Amino acid sequence: MTSHDPVPEIPVTTAAGVCAAAGFTAAGVEAGFKKSGGADLALVVNTGPEFAAAAQFTSNRVAAAPVHWSREVVRQGTARAVVLNSGGANACTGPEGFQNAHATAELVAQGLDIGAGDVLVCSTGLIGEQLPMDVVRRGVPDAVAALAGGQAAGRAAAEAIMTTDTVPKQACVRAGGWSVGGMAKGAGMLAPGLATMLVVLTTDAVLAPDALDAALREACRVTFNRTDSDGCMSTNDTVVLMSSGASGRTPGQGEFTRALTAVCHSLAQQLITDAEGASHDIAITTVGAATETEAEDVSRTVARSNLLKTAVFGNDPNWGRVLSAVGTTQARFDPDRIDVTINGVTVCRNGCIGDPRENVDLAASRAVDIEIDLKTGEQRATVWTNDLTHDYVEENSAYSS
Amino acid sequence: MTSHDPVPEIPVTTAAGVCAAAGFTAAGVEAGFKKSGGADLALVVNTGPEFAAAAQFTSNRVAAAPVHWSREVVRQGTARAVVLNSGGANACTGPEGFQNAHATAELVAQGLDIGAGDVLVCSTGLIGEQLPMDVVRRGVPDAVAALAGGQAAGRAAAEAIMTTDTVPKQACVRAGGWSVGGMAKGAGMLAPGLATMLVVLTTDAVLAPDALDAALREACRVTFNRTDSDGCMSTNDTVVLMSSGASGRTPGQGEFTRALTAVCHSLAQQLITDAEGASHDIAITTVGAATETEAEDVSRTVARSNLLKTAVFGNDPNWGRVLSAVGTTQARFDPDRIDVTINGVTVCRNGCIGDPRENVDLAASRAVDIEIDLKTGEQRATVWTNDLTHDYVEENSAYSS
């Protein structure tokens, strides 16, 4: 986390995940969705006493069946469980796909003796194939039977949602008597065909649904929503937050939002770092913007430039490609005043050549910090991405065959 | 050109270029801009009797010095010559860069005994370096001395503007007593770091500047503006149209626009086809859209999906990635009614799996036709692109080093 980062400096540990907060049990089992084998069904259950919940979903208008289902469930502001499968996205599957998402929730509800309307469903995998319901019927009871609290159970759940992820992603913050935990999956830029980002966040703080929702929106806005590995938005992206209230403590809204943001930031950074095909993690920070929205727009546009991303792969601090991308935005700036600084070297000053690009040694570090100073106002925003590599092309051209 | 193409079915030949129209001379010489050697300075001169001109420039707000210069020149609706160099973009070069563009125009003007304000300037190459003015001073008189009419001269000019292009691009249409010719450079997706698109179009038809301008806008709108190799917009893109009036004929506005569009379409297709690193040329046509703008937006969004472009490289007719991209647009559609047809096979029907993807053999053809039917209205638009390949990554990561 660099000094210009708006994310709060709160200690985050990655040893525990969704079970870090009191009042949650979890499980991860091998149901049989993945042809390659391995755990592929996760369950996270809120054991109460409170059941407040909030969620953020993909803004892709071609949304998967489980997204449609979960959107309805969370509308009431509560949820008791979330079931997640890897090995099949249940997207572009029509009415049958929606029925299958519903049936999955019913099976979980039967196992837990709750209502199906309290069960969120998440899926990730190949688009356009129906979920194998025999696998669901076999796997859900196994997952219910395996439910437990503690770090091992949380980790089992985090492992069961992995697709091309190489490591499970967990994070937690322990505050004064209450905690926030979470797990995530998403393979960064490596295989974004199924780079659905699924995140389950838990807390034992006592918070009303509205408070949870507001905190989740703000945390996502500056973390997951600014993580842009290849500009391709999934049909399945879901971030769920559940509160058990088991700590009996009610933190201030700002205090809770900061802790939640820290957990989300850690998970987002883990997603970026697990892009094994990528050779560089790139943080693009625009400063001196008239508004934060314009700063974010500039950073995101640069983050989506294939030309810049291939240049970074080639360890080339190519500021001309940064400026070319900036020039396509509608942000307010004077092209003759822009500075571009790459890993501390201002290679472009006032829109022209600056300090020698030879002073930047991109081959020496995985982290690449690009700062763009528009010199227009006071606002800033960072977007995180990866370089564009041969492995990206390889993984994504070979994926579904 | 497929049957759904809005581009007119007019015979286009590629044997002649800017000198196909009467009243134009051209030259291409080796001035010394390119470190690799070879012709790198082109000159096209309108010998009259008329001197009407129009131009379209990059909408990138970080525009190169020659773009700023030429924008001023063409504002008056006339121009007598255009000078083009490869081997240096003269972009992000500040006031000195603008002075160098101006000085280049002055040198051409001296050689032709005209005013500098009648000389358009185009540059292409690496961003952020000043033009070597000793090379300009040496090369411009050589180019003036080499000016000639006829196919050989036109071809020499077309060769001198090549960068990583492997072949010169020319096209012409001969109508009833008048002609339209043109040349283009741009390496498709292979090296878009300098994939500046420079196009010079000529005609001997008698047309006022306003008529030229209107025809050029319409022709560019449905050809060059829908050619999107990697979504990265250059700082130098320029399309120039000059009219000599030497034929003495004045075609109807529609007739002229159709001929000009046919020439532009041919040049745009040549740009796409010369992406030697690309293994597929992809035409993405959206039909059944509420408006042409929405159809174009959908086609362009799909054309910019790295996931789809890598899938096509892998010969994978991955309609899920098409739908994922469509879902990120604001076009009007019902996700459950969209059809996707790839090379004649409707692999997605009503948003779900359609005919077997095994029926599509992408390995067997370079051309990939993707048709997306939104079933909302009557409008359509095609955007042309390439697949995303290892060679794209290689060329663009190695380019400036």
Q: Is the pLDDT of residue A330 over 90?
A: yes
Min mean pLDDT across A360-369, B271-280, B282-291 is at: B271-280
Chain B residue numbers with beta carbons less than 8 Å from the beta carbon of A62 are 323-324, 326-327, 335, 338, 351
Q: Is the pLDDT of residue B106 over 60?
A: yes
Please state, rounded to an integer, the average pLDDT across all residues of chain B: 91
Q: Are B333 and B316 in contact (CB under 8 A)?
A: no
Contact B310 A392 (CB under 8 A): yes
Q: Is the pLDDT of residue B35 over 90?
A: no
CATH number of B24-273: 3.60.70.12
Chain B residue with Cα closest to A330: B61
Q: pLDDT exceeding 90 applies to what percent of chain B?
A: 74
Chain B residue numbers with beta carbons less than 8 Å from the beta carbon of A351 are 62, 92, 94
Q: How far apart are CA A132 and CA A78, in angstroms?
A: 28
Q: How far apart are CA B110 and CA B81, in angstroms?
A: 12
B346 is catalytic: no
Average pLDDT score over residue span B111-123: 97
Query: Can you give the pLDDT at residue A400?
Result: 47
Query: Can you give the pLDDT at residue A390?
Result: 86
pLDDT in tens, A63-92: 999 999 999 999 999 999 999 999 999 999
Contact A400 B61 (CB under 8 A): no
- Label residue A394 by pLDDT band (50, 70, 90): confident
Average pLDDT score over residue span B134-140: 97
Q: How far apart are CA B352 and CA B36, in angstroms?
A: 52
Query: Can you give the pLDDT at residue A393?
Result: 82
Q: Mapped to the 3 state alphabet, what secondary structure does chain B carry? A: CCCCCCCCCCCCECCCCCCCCCCEEEEEECCCCCCCCCCCEEEEEECCCCCEEEEEECCCCCCCHHHHHHHHHHCCCECCEEEEEECECCCCCHHHHHHHHHHHHHHHHHHHCCCHHHEEEEEECCCCCCCCHHHHHHHHHHHHHHCECCHHHHHHHHHHCCCCCCCCEEEEEECCCCEEEEEEECCCCCCHHHCCCEEEEEECCCCCHHHHHHHHHHHHHHCHHHECCCCCCCCCCEEEEEECCCCCCCCCHHHHHHHHHHHHHHHHHHHHHCCCCCCCEEEEEEEEECCHHHHHHHHHHHHCCHHHHHHHHCCCCCHHHHHHHHCCCCCCCCHHHCEEEECCEEEEECCEECCCHHHCCHHHCCEEEEEEECCCCCEEEEEEEECCCHHHHHHHHHCCC
pLDDT in tens, B58-78: 888 889 999 999 999 999 999
Chain B residue numbers with beta carbons less than 8 Å from the beta carbon of A282 are none
Chain B residue with Cα closest to A321: B193
Contact B328 A394 (CB under 8 A): no
Beta bridge partners of A285: A371, A382
Residue B230 C-alpha, separation from nearest chain A C-alpha, in angstroms: 7
Q: In angstroms, how far apart are the furthest CA atoms of chain A?
A: 67
Q: How far apart are CA B143 and CA A365, in angstroms?
A: 47
- Label residue B117 by pLDDT band (50, 70, 90): very high
- Which candidate in A57, A61, A360 is best for mutational testing of the B interface (most B CBs within 10 A)? A61
Contact A233 B400 (CB under 8 A): no
**Closest by Cβ to B230, choosing from A89, A307, A338:** A307
- Token digits for B316? 């994978």
Domain boundaries along the sequence of chain A: 24-273, 281-398
Tell me which range, A227-231, B128-132, B208-212, is most confidently predicted by mean pLDDT: B208-212
Chain B residue numbers with beta carbons less than 8 Å from the beta carbon of A363 are none
- Label residue A217 by pLDDT band (50, 70, 90): very high
Residue A394 C-alpha, separation from nearest chain B C-alpha, in angstroms: 8
Q: Could you tell me which residues come within 8 angstroms of residue A171 by beta carbon, excluding any fewer than 6 positions away?
A: A12, A13, A14, A17, A181, A182, A262, A263, A266, A267, A270
Chain A residue numbers with beta carbons less than 8 Å from the beta carbon of B60 are 324, 327-328
Average pLDDT score over residue span A126-155: 95
Contact A235 B311 (CB under 8 A): no
Q: How far apart are CA A230 and CA A309, in angstroms?
A: 10
Q: Is the pLDDT of residue A241 over 60?
A: yes
Q: Is the pLDDT of residue A2 over 60?
A: no
pLDDT in tens, B231-286: 666 788 899 999 999 999 999 999 999 999 999 999 998 988 887 578 899 999 99
- CB-count burial class (<10 Å; 0-12, 13-18, 19+) for B133: middle
Query: Out of B58, B93, B124, B196, which one is annotated catalytic?
Result: B196
Q: Is the pLDDT of residue A266 over 80?
A: yes
Q: Is the pLDDT of residue B401 over 70?
A: no
pLDDT in tens, A269-312: 898 888 757 889 999 999 999 999 999 999 999 998 888 998 99
Instruction: Report the candidate in A282, A291, A245 with the shortest Cα–Cα distance to residue A383.
Output: A282
pLDDT in tens, A187-211: 654 333 445 789 999 999 999 999 9
Q: Mapped to the 3 state alphabet, what secondary structure does chain A carry? A: CCCCCCCCCCCCECCCCCCCCCCEEEEEECCCCCCCCCCCEEEEEECCCCCEEEEEECCCCCCCHHHHHHHHHHCCCECCEEEEEECECCCCCHHHHHHHHHHHHHHHHHHHCCCHHHEEEEEECCCCCCCCHHHHHHHHHHHHHHCECCHHHHHHHHHHCCCCCCCCEEEEEECCCCEEEEEEECCCCCCHHHCCCEEEEEECCCCCHHHHHHHHHHHHHHCHHHECCCCCCCCCCEEEEEECCCCCCCCCHHHHHHHHHHHHHHHHHHHHHCCCCCCCEEEEEEEEECCHHHHHHHHHHHHCCHHHHHHHHCCCCCHHHHHHHHCCCCCCCCHHHCEEEECCEEEEECCEECCCHHHCCHHHCCEEEEEEECCCCCEEEEEEEECCCHHHHHHHHHCCC
Contact B92 A320 (CB under 8 A): yes
User: What is the layout of strands, in order, in the sheet containing B81-86?
Assistant: B24-29, B41-46, B81-86, B119-124
pLDDT in tens, B338-359: 999 999 999 999 999 999 999 9
Q: How far apart are CA A193 and CA B316, in angstroms?
A: 12
Q: Which residues of B are annotated as a binding site for substrate?
A: 163, 185, 196, 276, 396, 401
Please state, rounded to an integer, the average pLDDT across all residues of chain A: 91
pLDDT in tens, A25-65: 999 999 999 988 999 999 999 999 999 999 999 888 889 99
* Class of the domain covering B281-398: alpha beta
Instruction: Report the candidate in B343, B301, B337 with the shortest Cα–Cα distance to residue B322.
Output: B301
